[in-house]
Structure 1
Amino acid sequence: MNYFIGVDVGTTSTKAVLYNEHAQVLTQTKQGYPLYRDASGMAEQNPDELVNAVEKVIHDAAQSADLTTGKLLAVSFSSANQSVILLDENHQPITRAMTWADTRARKVASDLKSSPEGKQIYIKTGTPIHPMSPLTKLMWLNAEMPEKMTSAKYVADIKSYLFYRLFNVFRVDISIASCTGMLNIETADWDSQALSLAHVTPEQLPEIVSGTTQQVGLTKEAQTAMAIPGDTPFIYGAFDGALSNLGVGALSKDTVAITIGTSAAVRVVTDHPVIDPQQRLFCYAVDNGLWVIGGPLNNGGDVFQWAVEHLVDASAVQNENMDAYALANEVIAGVPAGSNGLIFNPYLGGERAPIWNANARGSFFGLSQLHTRADMLRAVMEGINMNINSVFQAVRNLVGDPKSVTATGGFAQSAVWKQMLADVLNCPVEIPNSFESGCLGAIVMAMNSLGIVDSLEAVQQFIGEKEVCKPDSEAVAVYQKYQPVFEQVQELLSPAYARMADLQQKTTNH
């Protein structure tokens, strides 16, 4: 038997999935690491802790393979995007990795976004101007840590740093480069205007390669740590969102892919770049004539978790002797669509798409003395779904009506949530039974790189059964009345977000 290992490098953990050559999952391993939040807005990783975790999960996955008779054909990568690490002349880190979740560049992003230059940069790079973008992170580092920027010889991200540690080469795949806000999506090369804002030169950045590029020749240290053959090809792959689309077979504008985990995302793949005139959506290069258009949302399952913790009666959980989430889903199922006239804007963690406002805050609207905790609980789930629908409609307006919607993530364990998503979107939702779509996408890229399959479309043969949730016409009619009010409330409250965020910061500082 021959094997592949798909690796998904995340914000707080890395997992490796061992597949056979028919893309069937044999085993998976996982290793966590801290996310450092020592200061307000900070969200950093220690790059070396992350490299150690990657080596460990590959080692553990490979131990489950029989490499005496079989061969490890390739290791391929899905990874989080939009990280920044400054390196010295020996490619050693002089900072930790600022992750996508780091929001310290809020003011820099806000100033750039409101300038004519900000719009020019967005149109050329397809990356929304936001604190998560490496462009604004580098502008912030220039202002706040000029001595570090001056001494930095190279600027890396987690993927390019990882490959440097494994192979002593400084390269990155085009999809990760495209997420930096510094890659011109028309020329597929670094954009001089963005680099000048970031105060970096092309020589400081990694060489851009295709995601199907094979890297061979592991360093002795890496080979020892992973206990795999030194000539095993490592495939660069792509960022996790693009591979999540690939892993569910959403490879054309006919299929929109929605992921709802802790956060959420709506994405569609096209054969040409599409820029949103209203700057609500990203447009990133994936590879070889493919681009992904969509929007990431901060507020997904984490908001529902907050609601369950605060709105589900603890004594009821004890009395019913059931899981708090199972009880919450039962309670929600008993409340009619529209939550008896209650709307929830779910911006507990600021928001990226579609409003790109790091100061956004959550709110209930329409509360009366008749409302109960059950109504509030359902309104929270509806608010998360209406927010997703705002991005979904923006994608539809830009790219056209999809023929299908495929959804994955932790939300799929809840029957009421799946049905609600179909009702709010007014569209059948397909939910694949397979999991780890990012790792599957990574190994299909590896198969394509090795010539085992002739196109990424071959993923279709590896995707198992799908469950289909069809919209309920009565609920759809309700949500079509509520969605415009949901968006109107957000617009009306928008001018107050920054003032409230400022007041909250002063409160927490005391």
Structure 2
Amino acid sequence: MDYLLGIDIGTSGTKGVLMDREGKIYVWAGREYSIDIPQTGWAEQNPKMWWEATIQVIREVLKESEVDPQQIRGIGLSGQMHGTVFLDKNLQPFRPAIIWADHRSSSQCEFIYQKIGKERLAELTGNPVATGFMCSTLLWMKENQPEEFNQIHKVILAKDYIRYRLTGNLGVEVTDASSTLLLDIKRRCWSEELLDILSLPLKILPEEVHESQEVAGYLLLDVARDTGLLEGIPVVYGGGDQSMQAVGNGVVRPGILSSTIGTGGQLFITLEKFTYDPKLRIHTFCHAMPNTYHLQGAILSAGLSLKWLRENILHTPDSYRIFDEEVEKIRAGSEGVIFLPYLLGERSPYMNPQAKGVFFGLSLKHHRAHLIRAVMEGVVFALRDCLEVFKELDVKIERVIASGGGAKSRVWRQIQADIFNKEISMTQSTEQAAKGAATLAGVGVGIYKDTEEGCKKTVKLKEEKIKPIAENVDIYNKQFEIYKSLYQDLKEDFKRLKRKGNIA
């Protein structure tokens, strides 16, 4: 029997799955790690920590599965997007990676808009500027740490570092390259025009941008010895975690929307041709199939908001299952409590790092369960804010697939159905990003003709579907109008707080 290994290098941990060609997951393993915050608003991780976690995950997958390593046909990779790994002339990391959650480059984001202009930036990259993106991070380093900037030989993304360690070959592929703000999205190559305008050297980027399913190299002997795998196993380029979760959920053709509630939250839909939002409220990235693209709305604090409430406010060890039981007793709308989930600022559709979290509408009648439900609703309101832009761009939605840790909650799935006013499906897939990476490995080594065939073989929908409840839809439509107006009413106050130095 043939097996495929998928590895997802995430923000909170690395996960691996072993899958057969029919999509059955035989075993999965994971290793958690943390984000380093050396200063307020900064977010870094040591790439060597990702590598150690990867080795441990592979070992555990092989041990638990008891599969003959000779039966593993290929390895695929998924990884957290946007961040920057800095390599010296020996191709070794010489400082911690600056990851997507980092906010230090806000002034550089403003500089990019001023230097290039929103209209031309949209045409070139299909994307708004955001802190934590490789482009703004490099500009920040050039301005604030010129000695370290001059030490750069190459910059790559998280999973690209892991692939380099696995194969010895340095490279990048289209989905992750899209997230750097340095790629000409339509042409699927580095934008020399943009690099020239910003005075960033092309030579520090990997020379060629590859398609995601291409074989990048073969497993090195020393890695085989460390993991128990066989030398020479093909390793494909893989993709950014959002493209890989989309593949893992079968979101590879237009009309299927994935709604992911993980640490952050994302809406994702496939495009057959390059389409972008001229107002730069959402992202357009290359998808993991040649000549395809996708729209993505990204919010920064989704599951993170509920984790924050549990740990920082409620100080409770209660499980999220207990939260669900409590929340089911509270009516839709949380009896007037509305939560703005801008705990890390917000990306789509506002691109505002100064935005802050807000509870609105509290009174003496409200208690813990109201706050929990309001947070869950607020996260989905933020996703609907992105969905409204999709609709404005005339994107048709036939099906919504819930994904991520939030999809495990039936309450949260019902809230999505009611706020989106769409039926919610789920796939039988678990660890979708790692599974998507494994599927792409199957394409790369010829087990599947293409990604669409791979998804037909490996992705199956669950029978249960969550339908919108008409009464709840009406409540949420009215509350969503208040939700949107709250941001508009408060955005100047967010700026004033920042200017006065009253908050970090």
Distance 1:310 1:201, change over 3 A: closer
**Structure-to-structure mapping, 1:455-494, within 5 angstroms:** 455-458=450-453, 459-466=455-462, 467-494=464-491
Measured in 1, the distance between the counterparts of 2:440 and 2:315 equals: 47
Distance 1:311 1:225, change over 3 A: closer
Tell me which residue corresponds to 1:320: none
Q: Is 1:385–2:380 an aligned residue pair?
A: yes
Residue 313 of structure 1: how far off its partner (Å): 9.3
Distance 1:115 1:424, change over 3 A: farther
Measured in 2, the distance between the counterparts of 1:376 and 1:345 equals: 12
Q: Is 1:298–2:295 an aligned residue pair?
A: no
Alignment partner of 1:216: what SS? strand
Tell me which residue corresponds to 2:421: 426
- Contact 1:346/1:362 (CA < 8 Å) preserved in 2? yes
Alignment partner of 1:268: what SS? strand
Alignment partner of 2:379: what SS? helix
Residue 310 of structure 1: how far off its partner (Å): 6.4
Residue 25 of structure 1: how far off its partner (Å): 1.0
Measured in 2, the distance between the counterparts of 1:168 and 1:104 equals: 32
Structure 2 counterpart of 1:241, one-letter code: Q
Tell me which residue corresponds to 2:217: 216
Alignment partner of 1:469: what SS? coil
Tell me which residue corresponds to 2:82: 82
**Structure-to-structure mapping, 1:443-462, within 5 angstroms:** 443-458=438-453, 459-462=455-458
**Structure-to-structure mapping, 1:11-410, within 5 angstroms:** 11-64=11-64, 68=68, 70-113=70-113, 117-206=117-206, 207-286=208-287, 287-309=289-311, 323=318, 325-410=320-405
Deviations 1:128-161 (A, max 9, x none): 2010211000010111111111222222222333
- Contact 1:271/1:289 (CA < 8 Å) preserved in 2? yes
- Contact 1:344/1:383 (CA < 8 Å) preserved in 2? yes
Alignment partner of 2:456: what SS? helix
- Contact 2:248/2:429 (CA < 8 Å) preserved in 1? no
Residue 311 of structure 1: how far off its partner (Å): 6.5
Deviations 1:147-187 (A, max 9, x none): 11122222222233323333332211111111110000122
Measured in 1, the distance between the counterparts of 2:324 and 2:56 equals: 37
Distance 1:65 1:326, change over 3 A: closer
Measured in 1, the distance between the counterparts of 2:2 and 2:503 equals: 58
Distance 1:104 1:407, change over 3 A: same
Distance 1:373 1:170, change over 3 A: closer
Structure 2 counterpart of 1:47, one-letter code: P
- Contact 1:121/1:193 (CA < 8 Å) preserved in 2? no
RCO higher in structure (CA 8 A, sep ≥6):
2
Distance 1:326 1:502, change over 3 A: farther
Structure 2 counterpart of 1:297, one-letter code: I
Greater displacement, 174-183 / 391-400? 391-400
Alignment partner of 1:267: what SS? strand
Residue 454 of structure 1: how far off its partner (Å): 1.7
| Normalised TM-score (structure 1) | 0.92
| Stretches of structure 1 lacking an aligned partner (at least 5 in a row) | 318-322
Structure 2 counterpart of 1:400, one-letter code: V
Measured in 1, the distance between the counterparts of 2:196 and 2:404 equals: 39
Residue 9 of structure 1: how far off its partner (Å): 0.8
- Contact 2:418/2:472 (CA < 8 Å) preserved in 1? yes
Greater displacement, 162-171 / 123-132? 162-171
Residue 370 of structure 1: how far off its partner (Å): 4.8
Measured in 2, the distance between the counterparts of 1:79 and 1:26 equals: 21
Measured in 1, the distance between the counterparts of 2:199 and 2:146 equals: 10
Alignment partner of 2:336: what SS? coil
- Contact 2:45/2:97 (CA < 8 Å) preserved in 1? yes
| Stretches of structure 2 lacking an aligned partner (at least 5 in a row) | none
Residue 294 of structure 1: how far off its partner (Å): 1.2
Structure 2 counterpart of 1:9, one-letter code: I
Measured in 1, the distance between the counterparts of 2:79 and 2:429 equals: 19
Tell me which residue corresponds to 2:437: 442
| Normalised TM-score (structure 2) | 0.93
Measured in 1, the distance between the counterparts of 2:195 and 2:422 equals: 42
Residue 472 of structure 1: how far off its partner (Å): 0.4
Residue 67 of structure 1: how far off its partner (Å): 5.9
Alignment partner of 2:155: what SS? strand
What is the identity percentage for the equivalent residue pairs of Structure 1 and Structure 2?
A: 27
Measured in 1, the distance between the counterparts of 2:306 and 2:77 equals: 30
- Contact 2:6/2:18 (CA < 8 Å) preserved in 1? yes
Distance 1:276 1:370, change over 3 A: same
Residue 272 of structure 1: how far off its partner (Å): 1.1
- Contact 2:167/2:235 (CA < 8 Å) preserved in 1? no
Structure 1 counterpart of 2:233, one-letter code: T
Structure 2 counterpart of 1:28, one-letter code: W
Measured in 1, the distance between the counterparts of 2:366 and 2:252 equals: 44
Distance 1:55 1:122, change over 3 A: farther
Structure 1 counterpart of 2:45, one-letter code: Q
Measured in 2, the distance between the counterparts of 1:277 and 1:488 equals: 22
Q: Alignment RMSD, CA only?
A: 2.3
Distance 1:387 1:217, change over 3 A: closer
- Contact 2:423/2:467 (CA < 8 Å) preserved in 1? yes
Q: How many residues get paired?
A: 500
Measured in 2, the distance between the counterparts of 1:84 and 1:313 equals: 34
- Contact 1:311/1:373 (CA < 8 Å) preserved in 2? no
Structure 1 counterpart of 2:142, one-letter code: N
Deviations 1:380-436 (A, max 9, x none): 222111111111221222242311100012223322222111001001011223211
Distance 1:311 1:208, change over 3 A: closer
Distance 1:310 1:16, change over 3 A: closer
Deviations 1:7-40 (A, max 9, x none): 0111232111112232211111222334221112
- Contact 2:119/2:278 (CA < 8 Å) preserved in 1? no
- Contact 1:308/1:324 (CA < 8 Å) preserved in 2? no
Measured in 1, the distance between the counterparts of 2:364 and 2:220 equals: 67
Measured in 1, the distance between the counterparts of 2:66 and 2:349 equals: 47
Deviations 1:272-307 (A, max 9, x none): 111101211111112301111111111211212333
Measured in 2, the distance between the counterparts of 1:257 and 1:324 equals: 25
Structure 2 counterpart of 1:112, one-letter code: I
Measured in 2, the distance between the counterparts of 1:211 and 1:313 equals: 43
